[in-house]
Structure 1
Amino acid sequence: MDQLTALRVFRRVVDEGSFAGAARSLSLSPAAISKNIGELEAHLGVRLLNRTTRRMSLTEPGRLYHEQVARILDDLTEADGSMQPLRHRPSGLLRVAAPISLTVTRLSRTITAFMQAYPDVEIDLHLDDRRVDLVKDGFDVAIRGTAKLEDTSLVARRLMAMRHVICGAPSYFDGAGRPHRPEELASHRIVQFSLSGNASEWALERQGERVTLPVASRYRASTSLAVREALLDGYGLSLIPASYVREDIAAGRLETVLDGWAPADTQVYAVYPSRRYLLPKVRALIDFLAEDLRSDA
């Protein structure tokens, strides 16, 4: 028995005052109407309707049940109606997960611009450089940076690519010297971003030449912001997204070395659970991010 259908049939029979009227109203056969009522009464274990070939009336249990069913179906209709605005215009709460460093250096400005463009949307932004479970943790969208997106049931849209540089403070290079070949990095102090896919091994390429280096460090940090601070303090050198240190390099606070040597770009994706029934608020955010970050791609 499809209980929801049976409830709707029962209510329509009572409202129309007959099986024939309910059948016409619902575009069902009289046999289907009778079958639904019979299955509903068998499910409940009570007779809901007294019926003869000439008339029909509610039993006492039927009258009580009809009152409750009518309220439930009205509430359901109202609940369905409340979804209509969400289907047609961006509104409501968006739970978004994003990396700390990328948000502080770039995404934050984009998100505030989005909020101004869509005043009916609320955003709960969760910052974490670790990978969240979208479905388990209840996020609508996650921003992820990775050299390669693994096969997954999630949907991903590419937003931008991040180039990396090897850099450090002038004071560090004045004391430790500047490496001229990747192999010379073994004699330098390195600050590791511990959550990176290449944290323990740097694969550097230049004009078709590829060098893979094991990386060991006394200092490992789980956010690139801490890596940047260590570089500015002159502790050592590191491999870091160029956008995170662009202003520091322009101001001379940091200097690049091994120019031309770099790993594959880190691709940044907007990841979300499904394309089906994608809410306007989710689509609006992803489209806005893609457009705003296009200049960085």
Structure 2
Amino acid sequence: MNKLASIRIFVTVAQCLSFAEAAKQLRVSSSVVTRGVAMLEKDLDVRLVNRTTRHVSLTPVGKQYLEYAIDLMKLLESMDECVADATQQPAGCLRISASASFASTDLPHLLTGYRSIQPRMNFELSVFETMSDIDPAGFDICFNAARRLKDSSLICKPIAQTCDVIVASPSYLERHAAPRALADLASHDVLLASDAPSRYWEFRDRNGTQRVVVRPIMNLQSPLMVKRAACAGLGIARLPRSVVMDELSDGRLRMVLNDAELCESEWTVWLLYSSHRHMPIVLRAFIDFVAGFYEKRSFEHAQRSTGNPMQMHPDLVWSGV
């Protein structure tokens, strides 16, 4: 470990006053953080941090050293920005948080595409099930797929939309006749994601809205776990189409009640980030790429599906940023 890495670790520990929290923010083990601070103290031949089993604090020398260390980190960031401005090529590390469903579907394609044109960019990725799991200070940009977005102090830009579909595996449908009418759902085993309506599903037709009682045998927090349970043949699931697109394509899952229109089935993928008077070039460039990625993908899908680029697929509608 070089001295610069040790200084970066020390700054994070000093700001968190916790070795464990610093390790979490830096995405490294606690032993790496402990070793980094110890190496810096050995190199300087002075104690910077007082630590006990319950408390972490800075020594007087540590507080003074922290001021210079923070200035050094800011200088390094400015140096990276200077090079990026001069070459018009973003460089550095982007901290990304993403919901588990988005991280397992679109995000790898986004990052692959972006790094192919900006090879000097690196990423730190954290994955969450709910927004309450993350700290807004811990990311530069966040992707969240949600039915409804809660109030947020962040800038929130819609970038894509999808909708729920009802699916089951071939093995399940071999054991249980596929539902042909909405009333048939009452006799089927239903798998629920925790954010889905739990007691009944509502459908819309020309006669109005019809409420159907469902019989859940399992309620899971993660849509990805619901998908795995559905693929294993455990029951019928209601999931975002984008989450099960691959499984529908290769036959691991099949849609049922295709003609039924679910109420409150829409999902929106949101791009969230803090307000900046002067937005860093690395962030602005990535946001622009994301916008272009979805605009291009929806256009291409519409051409393949209908030959008419003005008819966008509902799962790939670009909402603009």
TM-score higher than 0.5 here?
Answer: yes
The alignment-based identity, stated in percent, is: 26
Deviation at 1:208, TM superposition (A): 7.3
Query: Structure 2: how far apart are the matches of 1:279 and 1:97?
Result: 18
Q: Specify the SS of the correspondent of 1:105.
A: coil
Q: Specify the SS of the correspondent of 1:163.
A: strand
Deviation at 1:85, TM superposition (A): 2.3
Q: Which residue of 1 aligns with 2:289?
A: 288
Residues 249/109 of structure 1: CA separation in 2 closer, same or farther (3 Å cut): same
Q: Which amino acid aligns with 1:204?
A: F
Q: CA RMSD of the aligned region, Å?
A: 2.9
Compare relative contact order (CA 8 Å, sep 6+) and give the higher one, 1 or 2.
Answer: 1
Residues 197/286 of structure 1: CA separation in 2 closer, same or farther (3 Å cut): farther
**CA deviation string 1:51-78 (max 9, x = no partner):** xxxxxxxxxxxxxxxxxxxxx9xx79x9
Deviation at 1:288, TM superposition (A): 1.5
Q: Which residue of 2 aligns with 1:176?
A: 176
Work out whether residues 128 and 134 of structure 2, in 8 Å CA contact, stay in contact via their aligned partners in 1.
Answer: no
Structure 1 residue ranges without an equivalent (≥5) = 1-71
Deviation at 1:197, TM superposition (A): 5.3
Work out whether residues 158 and 267 of structure 1, in 8 Å CA contact, stay in contact via their aligned partners in 2.
Answer: yes
Deviation at 1:96, TM superposition (A): 0.7
Query: Structure 2: how far apart are the matches of 1:93 and 1:181?
Result: 52
Query: Structure 1: how far apart are the matches of 2:83 and 2:210?
Result: 51
Work out whether residues 180 and 258 of structure 1, in 8 Å CA contact, stay in contact via their aligned partners in 2.
Answer: yes
Deviation at 1:242, TM superposition (A): 1.5
**CA deviation string 1:96-137 (max 9, x = no partner):** 111222222222111122122222322101112221576554
Q: TM-score, normalised by structure 2?
A: 0.60
Query: Structure 2: how far apart are the matches of 1:289 and 1:250?
Result: 25
Which of structures 1 and 2 has the bigger CA Rg? 1
Q: Which residue of 1 aligns with 2:229?
A: 230
Q: Which residue of 2 aligns with 1:158?
A: 158
**CA deviation string 1:146-202 (max 9, x = no partner):** 1222332211111110122101012222322222333432321111112x2545653
Q: Which residue of 2 aligns with 1:189?
A: 189
**CA deviation string 1:211-247 (max 9, x = no partner):** 3456552322232222222112111001112222223
Work out whether residues 155 and 275 of structure 1, in 8 Å CA contact, stay in contact via their aligned partners in 2.
Answer: no
The answer to whether structure 1 residue 278 and structure 2 residue 279 are counterparts is yes
Q: TM-score, normalised by structure 1?
A: 0.65
Q: Which amino acid aligns with 2:288?
A: D
Q: Specify the SS of the correspondent of 2:189.
A: coil
Q: Specify the SS of the correspondent of 2:105.
A: helix
Query: Structure 1: how far apart are the matches of 2:280 and 2:122?
Result: 14
Residues 128/135 of structure 1: CA separation in 2 closer, same or farther (3 Å cut): closer
Query: Structure 1: how far apart are the matches of 2:120 and 2:207?
Result: 50
Residues 211/152 of structure 1: CA separation in 2 closer, same or farther (3 Å cut): farther
Q: Which amino acid aligns with 1:99?
A: S
Residues 122/198 of structure 1: CA separation in 2 closer, same or farther (3 Å cut): farther
Residues 259/275 of structure 1: CA separation in 2 closer, same or farther (3 Å cut): farther
Q: Which amino acid aligns with 1:121?
A: M
Q: Which residue of 2 aligns with 1:254?
A: 253
Q: Which residue of 1 aligns with 2:119?
A: 119
Deviation at 1:95, TM superposition (A): 0.9
Work out whether residues 80 and 91 of structure 2, in 8 Å CA contact, stay in contact via their aligned partners in 1.
Answer: no
Work out whether residues 171 and 233 of structure 2, in 8 Å CA contact, stay in contact via their aligned partners in 1.
Answer: yes
How many residue pairs align between the two structures? 222
Q: Specify the SS of the correspondent of 2:114.
A: helix
